[in-house]
Copies of this chain bind each other. A is one copy, B any other.
């Protein structure tokens, strides 16, 4: 592998000149530049970022720590990050924490286990140190579920952005908007003339659940609809919760005409429970999901849901991080990306 010295020799110039050509620093005569470029091409010279990084004490490397690359949300977020980084010449170092192998059953509300697990914290610290050894200039931490992860991450000297997760008020984060997303869903159901709208929530101690519930309540109130406690069921994000709680709702003396499940997995449980009671969807019951998982448009009926704009979250996290890197501005940036409503067949006007 050739070095800058080989190029300089071949072009008959000094290494400084070659360096100036490579880094487009100007101050090189047109003709000299051509000679250098020609030599670079001839030798098929590839600059050594390692040596450059050592000298400049800065790299165009950014680290991604993803809690679980197999979470449905992760690949879109990473995709967004990569596309922005490629554009600006940054290299991405990926670390996968694989949390789902380290806690009981995914997805669960018991991420608390993680926060208290010494083993997990040590694993994160090792991974961060490893990334730091590569002198990454910044870090994006991608959660499996938006929640406060501040206790997991040690204080770092490099900028860090939380995507699909958040930390303290001093930290930057990029997330979708739970409140607005839930509002989108409930607004749509009301627009479809539903009044008896039940909700199947995630665990109450979860931040997204709480925000979405708030969106639900606010929208009902705004529309002068009675807010019925028996229409609120608490699940744990699983398919089985949707199935079970749908049955509970339909057993009510005044069953709802529409059910808003806080994630698509529970919504599918709701669909199947309704089917098993020989209900026809959406004629007998409208069902609204949240997440816009893949394949939900091929379900029968296709699932009306809310898209989280995950790729945008990724792009934006990278943007926030790279701005911190280039402007040294350290004011925290807590971005909320609006969700997008995906109307589909599982909701019908009554």
Binding site for B on A (CB under 8 A): 1, 46-51, 53-54, 59, 61, 64, 69-70, 72, 74-76, 78-79, 82-83, 86, 89, 91-96, 98, 127, 129-135, 157, 239, 265, 268-269, 272, 275, 293-296, 298-300
Contact = CB atoms under 8 A, between A and B. Distances in A.
14 contacts: A51-B54, A69-B78, A79-B96, A82-B96, A82-B98, A86-B95, A86-B96, A86-B127, A91-B134, A265-B298, A268-B298, A272-B300, A275-B300, A299-B299
B70 A75 contact: yes
A72 B294 contact: yes
A79 B70 contact: yes
Given A49-B135, A94-B94, 15 more contacts: A47-B133, A49-B134, A50-B53, A51-B54, A69-B79, A78-B96, A79-B98, A82-B94, A82-B98, A86-B127, A91-B131, A93-B94, A269-B298, A295-B296, A299-B299
B96 A93 contact: no
A78 to B, nearest CB: 6
A293 B294 CA distance: 9
Choose among A72, A74, A134, A275 the residue with the greatest number of B CB atoms under 10 Å from its CB. A134
A74 B69 CA distance: 10
Given A48-B135, A50-B54, A98 B83 contact: yes
Contacts of A64: 94
Choose among A46, A89, A157, A298 the residue with the greatest number of B CB atoms under 10 Å from its CB. A298
Contacts of A275: 300
B54 A82 contact: no
Nearest to A52: B133
B130 A91 contact: yes
Contacts of A72: 294
Contacts of A76: 70
Nearest to A157: B1
A34 B95 CA distance: 31
Nearest to A90: B130
A82 B59 contact: no
Contacts of A265: 298
A294 B296 CA distance: 11
Contacts of A293: 294-295
A49 B134 CA distance: 5
B95 A93 contact: no
A91 B92 contact: no
Contacts of A91: 93, 130-131, 134
Contact of A48 (B82, B133, B157): B133
Contacts of A49: 133-135
